[in-house]
Amino acid sequence: MTGYEIHGLPGLYQNWLSASLDRTAEFEHQGRNFQTVKSTIPWISKHHANGSRPDQVINCYVSQSNLPWYLYNFFEKTDHVGICVDHWCDDIQRLGINTQAYQGMLDHWYRAYNITSFDDPEYIKNSAIEYFYLFFTQPSEWRTLLEYQLPGAINIEYQDFSKISVLREKLQPRISFDDDHFVSMYHLLNASNHRYLDLQKQFEQKLAQLPFYINFNVIDLAWLGALFYQLDQKQLDWFNPDVRHRTIVQHYTKIRCDPHNKNANI
């Protein structure tokens, strides 16, 4: 097992994975978060993962269809900052300032929409919805890094963490680890992160309520727009609340019929 390393990013469960594959690992479990202090399978950021042997790498990534659920995890859990996606516009400005995880995004969002602290809350909300809509529908450096699969490595997709059977299927042929410890750790993960492991199903329940969308937050609405975009690859003015409302009311049945748009390619 010595020699393996995990390539990850905040929100990709790499700390949990590092501790779960090494029975002797030293880790801290605080609420929903895991922090690995010492492990024979360390993790390094995908930003700095150059020169590693692919056959000694466990690469964590996110598929296009799971980007919104990853964002929930990234915002609500990274570094214990405490951002709540349901109050993203307020929390990112109040809690994200001067943080390593969020300051860069905050600056980019502010510049893109010329946002100041005096802007109307509705303008800020609309800009956030379009900001993530564009993230979901257009290429970016961050998306490229998140979605990257390393040839020859063990590639673990974000949604794989929802099923222990899938994790075992990918890991066991290549890595020897204590299965009893792994199962115990997975129970701990599931107990503390059930909300995040089940977000896709929760969103499908929200889709069932369409055309009513009052309980959709900015990321939900952005992803809803991305699903419409996938239908015909037509870019929408998703900043405009009138366009959003008209599109949802007139075409929501297409989304409810195929909430995953598995054949689409953003």
Summarize pLDDT for 207-247 with one digit per residue, the tens: 999 999 999 999 999 999 999 999 989 999 999 999 999 99
User: Measured between alpha carbons, how far is residue 173 from residues 18, 78, 154, 177, 258 in Å?
Assistant: 17, 31, 10, 11, 34
Spans of all domains in the chain: 5-65+142-194
What confidence category does residue 49 fall into, taking pLDDT thresholds of 50, 70 and 90? confident
Mean of the pLDDT values across residues 140-157?
Answer: 96
| Max Cα–Cα distance, the chain, nearest Å | 57
Report the pLDDT averaged over residues 61-66: 96
| Closest by CA position to 83, among listed 218, 180, 223, 182 | 218
Mean pLDDT across 65-75: 96
**pLDDT at residue 47, as a whole number:** 85
Q: For the purposes of burial, counting CB atoms within 10 Å of the CB of 116, is it exposed (0-12), middle (13-18) or buried (19 or more)? A: exposed
**Residue 12: which of 47, 45, 57, 40 has the closest Cα?**
45
DSSP 36: E
User: Which residue's entry shows tokens 């690469």?
Assistant: 59
Banded model confidence at residue 173, pLDDT cuts 50, 70, 90: very high
Residue 127 has pLDDT above 60, yes or no: yes
Indicate the helix (H) or strand (E) that contains 216.
none
Residue 35 bridge partners (DSSP): 28
Q: What is the pLDDT of residue 52?
A: 83
Measured distance CA(235)–CA(218) in Å, rounded: 18
Contact partners, residue 188, CB within 8 Å, separation at least 6: 29
Amino acid (1-letter code) at residue 227:
L
> Does residue 266 have a pLDDT over 90?
no
What does DSSP say about strands 57-61 and 26-30: parallel, antiparallel, or unpaired?
Answer: unpaired
> Please, what is the Cα angle at 116 between 112 and 121, to 5 degrees?
95
pTM across the whole model: 0.91
